[in-house]
Amino acid sequence: MYLTFDSPGYLWYLLSIPLLVLTHYAFLKYTKKRAIRFANFQALKKVSDEKIMTHNYWILLMRIVVIAFLILSISGTTLWYVGQSDQNDFAILIDTSSSMSSSDFQPTRLDAAKTYVNTLVDNINPDSKIGVVSFSGASFIEQLPTTNHGDVKDTVSAMAIAQVSGTDIPGAMVTGANMLLNSDKGKVMILLTDGSNTVSYFDKDPIAQGIDYVKKNNIIVDTIGLGTNSGPIGYLPEYYNISSVYDADTLVRIANATGGKYYYAGNTAELQSTYKDILKNVKQANIPIHLDEGLLIISLLLIFVEWGLINTRFRALP
């Protein structure tokens, strides 16, 4: 389990808590000086055999909790845990680079991928939203997340080889993650590719930056390596330097880092066999619990309790 914050900048206000403690003791000292002015103060202390002046630790503790909870509430605190859930939203990333025209899958890798995705969509919970991203050297949102799975299948069926060369895997991951940002369910990304990362707009280690962005948004990524290591490539005059070799190590790295699983699909049968395992595994999802409203309610209740205490047990002398 771990916490995330929609507006972490508000957490700086937690630094006001030490000021609250100092203020509490300053006013306590002032109140004590006022009480000592009464002639009967020492006599009352002897008769009652109790402390007439207390440090009001319970009041201080409640005020600290109230301020802390209010700050956490406006910070948009969310508790995440891994649990069983059929409530997931999906982003499906499909490689449409030129190498997906390879005919080691009949008729082509892209056609096999489209058939596979449509089968997958048929078996996803009808209440789940599904979005689709195509990527080559650039990423394109083909379908925004929707519960209309028929529209998703129509979109996938109409996809074609992209006119942009290269393969930008981390860029596709960021695009897919952005589609799932507003989801209150478990978030799952399924990445199908037959290539290695050849294009990126990130500096240094682009795969690491893509992984960090996905993890920051609590998304599980399942990766599928599509094609043989030396499959025949379909001839397309407008493309050149086409490679059919995908980088399995990168796909394994992405899946392991995000809590997903890597699948190798060397033929159509192996590809089709993966969807059941994927849907089985996504039941272990990162599930969010939004705490902001609960923290606000607790804070309000404690304010009323404190109000009652300072007007009864901890009432200050006039």
Q: How does pLDDT run across 29-75, given as a tens digit for each residue? A: 766 666 555 545 555 455 444 454 555 777 888 888 989 989 988 88
pLDDT at 35: 57
Q: 97-106, 126-135, 246-255: which has the highest mean pLDDT?
A: 126-135
Structure tokens at 278: 């994927």
Structure tokens at 209: 């930056």
pLDDT at 236: 44
Q: Which of 87, 93, 119 is nearest to 214 (CA)?
A: 93
pLDDT at 234: 47
211 vs 301: CA distance, rounded Å: 41
Structure tokens at 241: 């330097």
> 98 and 166 in contact (C-beta within 8 Å)?
no
76 vs 4: CA distance, rounded Å: 8
Name residue, tokens 């799952």. Answer: 188
pLDDT at 278: 85
Q: What is the pTM of this model?
A: 0.67
Long-range contacts of residues 214-217, Cβ cutoff 8 Å, at least 24 apart: 214/173, 214/174, 214/177, 214/189, 214/258, 215/257, 215/258, 217/177, 217/180, 217/181, 217/187
How big is the CA angle at 157 (ends 273 and 121), to the nearest 5 degrees?
45
pLDDT confidence bin for 83, thresholds 50/70/90: low
Q: What architecture does CATH give domain 83-287?
A: 3-Layer(aba) Sandwich (3.40)
What residues have CB less than 8 Å from 175, skipping those under 6 apart?
A: 93, 133, 135, 139, 141
Chain-centre distance of CA 236, in angstroms? 40
Structure tokens at 196: 């290695």
Q: Where are the domains of the chain?
A: 2-76+291-310, 83-287
Structure tokens at 135: 């990527």
246 vs 264: CA distance, rounded Å: 10
> Is the per-residue pLDDT at 156 higher than 70?
yes
Q: Which residues of 36-65 are buried (b: 16+ CB within 10 A; e: fewer)?
A: eeeeeeeeeeeeeeeebeeebeebbebbeb
SS3 of residue 42 by DSSP = helix
In tens, the pLDDT along 221-280 reads 999 988 765 544 444 444 444 445 567 888 999 999 998 999 988 788 888 888 888 887
Structure tokens at 75: 């910070």
pLDDT at 154: 95
Phi-psi group of 45: left, alpha or beta (phi > 0 → left; psi -120 to 50 → alpha; rest → beta)? alpha
DSSP single-letter state for residue 316: P
242 vs 187: CA distance, rounded Å: 33
Percentage with pLDDT > 70 across the chain = 78
